[in-house]
Amino acid sequence: MSSLPSVQKALTATADHKAEVTQVEVPKPNKGEVIIKNEWVALNPTDWKHIAFISTQGAISGCDLAGTIVSTGEGVSESLVGKRVAGLVHGGVYKDRGAFQQYTRADPSLQFIVPDNVELKDASTLGVATFTSNLALYKTLGLPTPDKPLSQPKDILIWSGATSVGQHAIQLAKLSGLRVITTASEKNHALLRSLGADEVFDYKDEQVVQKIKKATNNQLELGLDCISEKGSVELSTDSFGSNGGRLTLLLPYAQEKVRSDVKLQPVLAYTITGTEFTLFGKRYPAIPEDHEDAANWTKKLTQILASGKLKFIKTTELKGGLESIIEGFEKLSSGKVSGEKLVYNVSSL
């Protein structure tokens, strides 16, 4: 493997919470780390939110990536060099790591091997979506993983199923033997049915709660709210049956604002890093078991992908590499992206 360059392009935060493309050093792997030469990166809402509200000057943006391992640190097998991988890094916080650059320092435990039947462009869309889905469905709700599905179907509500997390979670839930009830704009109903959703309702329908209750015989006990804002938490909890249950969220929400018999359980993909971090002024402690669980999930995910049982979210490539990511931020923040993922080829900047 040829030596790496000393500098590279990266999308970083400015002091006034904007994004710009700058020159940064190409990182060297620390103990237990790898360097990934990125080929494709994908946008998530958390990326523009970090730039707008959280990132300090110089922090490198981006979480989802796919590429090839080109260097390994102490304690990491050199046999990984040349492997095609995809996964997640905690972008928008650090000056020495983030997806939106040419070479990324990463934890190999949080990258999955991309099987030969999967394109890197598609694999780049999975990082945040798959680790969030795993945390929500399997670690938090305790559902069986796809290799040990339920023998009898059980209902689960996946609110906002057209999101990237929603589309992925619908498919995983079906592979785990659940009966999936979901919501989305009417234009996305056919898409979600093609992913396996059993019932799809328009979240704008004034009768949506009543329709979900009827579809689940007023016995719904499990749910995942993939948006967790703008009234979705209230609608999700109101859809539960008379016995209450548990609802996983992607954002924190006050329990006292909703039914007391539906336990709110927020998950945050960044906890899989196994390190402490601060988000919107709140300190999150390191959770080693989340890191271990995520590392185990990468192996299962590679097997599921190799089987061809997962469909990928629709991708739209914006040309122009890192510079055009700023345009993508504007599209995401203004609500112009629905049912798809914006991706960028950064292999030759």
Judged against a pLDDT cut of 70, whether residue 170 lies above it is answered with yes
What angle (nearest 5°) sits at the alpha carbon of residue 113, between those of residues 196 and 141? 45
> What pLDDT score does 2 carry?
61
Distance CA 232, CA 238 (A): 10
Nearest C-alpha neighbor of 21 from the set 327, 270, 308, 331? 327
Distance CA 31, CA 12 (A): 25
pLDDT digits 0-9 by tens, 44-53: 999 999 999 9
> What pLDDT score does 3 carry?
86
Q: Which residues contact 120 (CB under 8 A, 6 or more apart)?
A: 39, 40, 66, 67, 84, 86, 114
**The pairing of beta strand 64-72 with beta strand 7-13:** unpaired
| Average pLDDT in the chain | 97
Judged against a pLDDT cut of 60, whether residue 1 lies above it is answered with no
pLDDT digits 0-9 by tens, 90-135: 999 999 999 999 999 999 999 999 999 999 999 999 999 999 999 9
Neighbours of 30 (CB within 10 A): 14
pLDDT digits 0-9 by tens, 289-298: 999 999 999 9
Distance CA 182, CA 160 (A): 7
Q: Please name each of the domains of the chain with its CATH number.
A: 7-126+312-345 (3.90.180.10), 130-267 (3.40.50.720)
Tokens for 131? 């680790």
Judged against a pLDDT cut of 60, whether residue 327 lies above it is answered with yes
pLDDT digits 0-9 by tens, 265-286: 999 999 999 999 988 888 999 9
Distance CA 43, CA 328 (A): 8
**Confidence band, pLDDT 50/70/90 cuts, at residue 348:** confident
Q: Which residues contact 162 (CB under 8 A, 6 or more apart)?
A: 184, 185, 188, 191, 192, 338, 339
> What pLDDT score does 279 carry?
87
| Burial (Cβ within 10 Å: 0-12, 13-18, ≥19) of residue 131 | buried
